[in-house]
Structures are given as C-alpha cells and as structure tokens.
Structure 1
C-alpha cells in the first residue's frame, strides 16, 4: 500500500518550495526531509523540485499536483479531526481573508472585535484582491473572500450574501458641484476619476450615466476605490464608488446621490466547499455576517 504520510510531506514541500523550510515546518532534520523528497521522486517518477540558482522551483508535474494534494490533505485532516464542540477560548489559528479596497477600513474593526472577543488566539490576515481569480481559494492560500458573484467566479465555490450596496458620487468638501442640485448636466460637466478593475468598475457607471443623458469626461484613470477617493478629496475630480463598501474610506469628502438611475449589487462572502464542515471556519463566517450586518444597519 502507498505511504499516505508522503502526501503530507509532499503538500508541505510544494507549499514551502524548500527542503529546509519543509523540514522546519514538519520538525524533521534536513537529511530526513531530503530522504523523503527522494522517496517522493521515486514514487511519482518526477523530480518535483529542481535547482534554479540558489533555490528550488517546482516542475510542471509538481504544479499540477499542488492543488490536488492540498485538497486531499485538507479532506483527510477534516475526516480524522474529532467531532468535538469547538473550544473558541483555546483555538489558535490563522485565517486569511482576501478582500477588496475599503473592506478592512469599513468592516475590519467590528470583525476583529468579535473574533478577539470569542477567540483571542485567532489571527486574521487580510490580503489584497487584485482580481477575481478563484485559485487562491481552491489551493487553500485563502480561507475566505468577499466580492460580487459573477460569471468569473468558479462554479464550485460556496457563497453567502453579506449586504446590498449602491453607487454614490464623492467630491471634496466645498466643491462647486455641491453648490446646488447635482443634475446630470452638471455632473457631466466635471472631470472624473475612472476606475479600471475586474468585477466592479466604471463601465457600469458610464453606461448608466449615458442612459441618463450624461457624459463623464475622464481626468485620470486608477485601479481602485481608495485611489479614486483620495484624488477626489484633494482635487476637483469627481469619483463614483460603492457606498457601504467604502464607508471607511470616505472621510473628508462629501457623498451625494447620482443624478441618474443605476442598479445596486450584492457583496457576498465566498469559500471553497472543502471548508463547509470545518467548525472554526463556520464560526468565522458567522462573525463576518454579524460584522457586515452591524455596519449595514447603521
């Protein structure tokens, strides 16, 4: 029978990309880890990790195996874990959350307070979300993600709606646009920040503005909400951003309703199905729901 312990060793080796790093993580000697790598090479018929300068890089076969091995190890760990009640007071774990700009500023304080109140040994790590690629969730690099579900979201992912959001305009305090009613004509006469990013982006706003009889002259192009709001705060540029999602970013600017009709959207939390039964992950999802609903009710 195959030595299933090799799966754990392979998972750590591919994750670390280093014999020494994998040895430290598994609390083995470098020589023992080297022997384990030699055994894995023999079993798989592939070198898996090859020398590149002073480091090691994975072979195409190793890259192909990485996601599969991680899923198998996670599933086996879940199967062998005792089905006991979760002891939050003693839980020690790091959770990685992948979020868009503004999420940490708006929802982070409430989420952190709730998590630390229940489980002081839990560490939250927030990482940026430059795209909507589901690979980090699939490969276990990320535990939970927030965003808008669309056709680019991997079909196997689980999702739960967190809150409804809408588009609003922002301008610096005292901007001439704010002196009187913000009409489609006056909105279109100003210079605007265009936001180019996957998922929510300015094309939706441009289309709605045109349908409402307004054009949006572009003064500058940025790749995120934080940059757009920062420019609107210190220049005469106008930015159009999601209201609730950027609540923590919109300090020092004036928010106004758009002078045309544009649909809202739903922000959800997204996770890989292998985490469905994980008790600690379930608890984290409940904390996130509570943190978002608290802000949404304000």
Structure 2
C-alpha cells in the first residue's frame, strides 16, 4: 500500500478553512489549475468529493465537516514538531543532570553552581560523579550529561567541547614546612620529598617535564590518584604537593602555596557534552551556568 502524501494535509486544511479553490490557491501560492489538481488528489485519497458546488460557491460534504477539526489539529501539531523549542523557563524545569568531573572541581565550583541553579531552577538536581578514567562512552550512552576535564587528544566528532579556564600548577606545603622560609629555588624544590598525582600511577608528569630543563629532578616518594589525596598527605607531613591552582583553592585553605621556581605547566580545562544534546534548551541553559560560575571563579585569588 502506497504511503499517503502528508503534504495534502496542509492543502486540505486550507481548503476546508477557505471553502474556495481560488482563495486556497492564493494562500498556498498555487495557480487555480494546480489547486484544482490538488483537490482532485484529495478526493481520490479520501474517497469523498469534500467540496461540492452550491450556487456560485462550494460547500463542504459531511465527511469534510467531520475532518475539519481533526485535520486542523494534525497540521498544528506538525507545525509544533517542526519549529524550534520554545524559550525555556528554568523555574518550571524539572530534571536531573549528571556531571562527571576531575578531583577538585566539585570542591572549587560546586557550591556556587548548586546555589545558582537552585535559585533559578528549584526542581533541577545535580548529580556529581568522579572521573576515574578518560573515555567518552558515558557521554555517548547518556550515563552523564556533562564532563569537565583536560583534552589530551582529538575528540570524536560526536563530542562537543568548550574551554572553561586555564589552570597553572603551583607548589603547596603545610604551614610549618621548611620551604615556607627563604627563597624557593629549583634545587630546593627538587630536593624536597614530593607526592605526585597520576590517575594511571605514572611516576612523572607535566611538572617533571617542565623541571627537567633546570637540570633537577623531583624526589617523588609517593604517588596518588587525585589532588585531594595529595594535599591531604602534604597537610599532614613534609611532602610537597604540586597541583592546579584553580582546582584546589578550597582544598588548600590553611596551607602555604607558592609559585614554582621554573616555568609552571598550564592546562586548559574544558566542558564536554554529546552532540545530541547541543540544541537541547535545558542542557544549553545548564552549560551556560557552568560557564558563568567558572568565569566568576577565575577572578577569585588565593588568600
């Protein structure tokens, strides 16, 4: 069985509303002969004459009267489907978003983000999950809605990203650490005992690559998988933690932070999402809030 031409629904809607082949043709930008052919097609499709002559005009058949409201409803519904989504009202939005982030992001930006979203959209819920490995499958299968992180290689074409901020590494020690006094040179920095952060358990990273041109190497005595763990160890011992500045503002409170005595490595933290959510009004609104909060956060200085 051949599929019906759904374009005929629009023609039928206009015909039944106007009750005139001429006026319907004018509205649809069709000539009288082309409009007459459309009416003939409608008659064959419905098995009914639809409009019949009565004096100088046309009147609808009972079948046409029966179809009028149904056809109008179908056309209006189709128009709604095929137009962009209406303006989003966050106050009426009820949805849970899952955000996967690296260690430190929630501590640094979570409070402001939750507060702003709670004020504008009381029925929106945020679920933060920790990133344990770098893969895009959770974005692709919908397990998570957004992700923050450093992009180390080209992303797949179905993953969209936007830079959030650039973070630079600094050194952090407990308040009573020997490095608190005197000038910190590359030699003093390297000779201290260090805690290194590596999700994959590697013994060296960006900081070591930046330090090597000085002719020194860090004395790394322990490796952990997150900045929070590194700072916890440094707070309770004489270990030196080298961490991103913005990510760890909250976690470093009460500790002594210092600029590295060599060119500090920098990383760009980005926001990632799947292309299927790119045009979704609610998701677009959430992305805007994350961008706003991170922009404000960049202006906050260490105490």
TM-score scaled to structure 1, two decimals?
0.70
Contact 1:99/1:147 (<8 A) preserved: yes
CA 1:127/1:176 → structure 2, altered by over 3 Å: closer, same or farther? Answer: same
* Whole-Å separation in 1 of the counterparts to 2:159 and 2:277: 10
Aligned-pair Cα RMSD in Å: 2.1
In 1: Cα distance, 2:264 partner to 2:244 partner: 12
Q: Match of 1:112?
A: 114
Among 271, 274, 278, the alignment partner of 1:269 is 271
Task: State the 1:246 CA deviation.
Answer: 1.2
- Which residue in the other structure is 1:159 paired with? 161
Q: Secondary structure at the match of 1:86?
A: coil
Contact 2:95 2:125 in 1 (8 A): yes
2:144 maps to which residue? 142
Aligned partner of 1:123 in structure 2 is 125
Instruction: Provide the C-alpha distance between the structure 2 equivalents of 1:80 and 1:274, rounded to a whole number of angstroms.
Output: 17
Does residue 203 of structure 1 match 2:205?
yes
* Residue 246 (structure 1) aligned with residue 248 (structure 2): yes
Show structure 1 runs of 5+ residues with no match: 2-78
Alpha-carbon distance in 2 for matches of 1:290, 1:156: 24
Which deviates more, 97-106 or 214-223? 214-223
Q: Distance in 1 between matches of 2:126 and 2:213?
A: 43
Which residue of the partner structure matches residue 221 of structure 1? Answer: 223
Structure 2 unmatched runs, 5+: 4-80
Structure 1 residue aligned with 2:258, among 256, 259, 276? 256
Q: What do residues 98-154 of structure 1 show as CA deviations (whole Å, max 9, x unaligned)?
A: 000111110011111111111000000000001111100000000000011121643
In structure 2, relative to structure 1, the CA distance for the partners of 1:155 and 1:200 (3 Å cut) is farther
Q: CA deviation at 1:162?
A: 0.7
In structure 2, relative to structure 1, the CA distance for the partners of 1:152 and 1:83 (3 Å cut) is closer
* Residue 24 (structure 2) aligns with: none
Larger radius of gyration: 2
Change (3 A) 1:183 1:241: same
Structure 1 stretches of 4+ with a deviation exceeding 6 A read 79-82
- 1:198-224 C-alpha deviation (Å, 9 max, x unpaired): 599951111111112221111111111
- Cα distance in 1 between the residues matched to 2:217 and 2:272: 35
SS of structure 2 residue aligned to 1:83: coil
Q: Aligned equivalents of 1:201 and 1:224: distance in 2?
A: 14
User: What is the rounded CA distance, in whole Å, between the counterparts of 1:158 and 1:149 in structure 2?
Assistant: 11
Q: Deviations over 1:2-51 (max 9, x none)?
A: xxxxxxxxxxxxxxxxxxxxxxxxxxxxxxxxxxxxxxxxxxxxxxxxxx
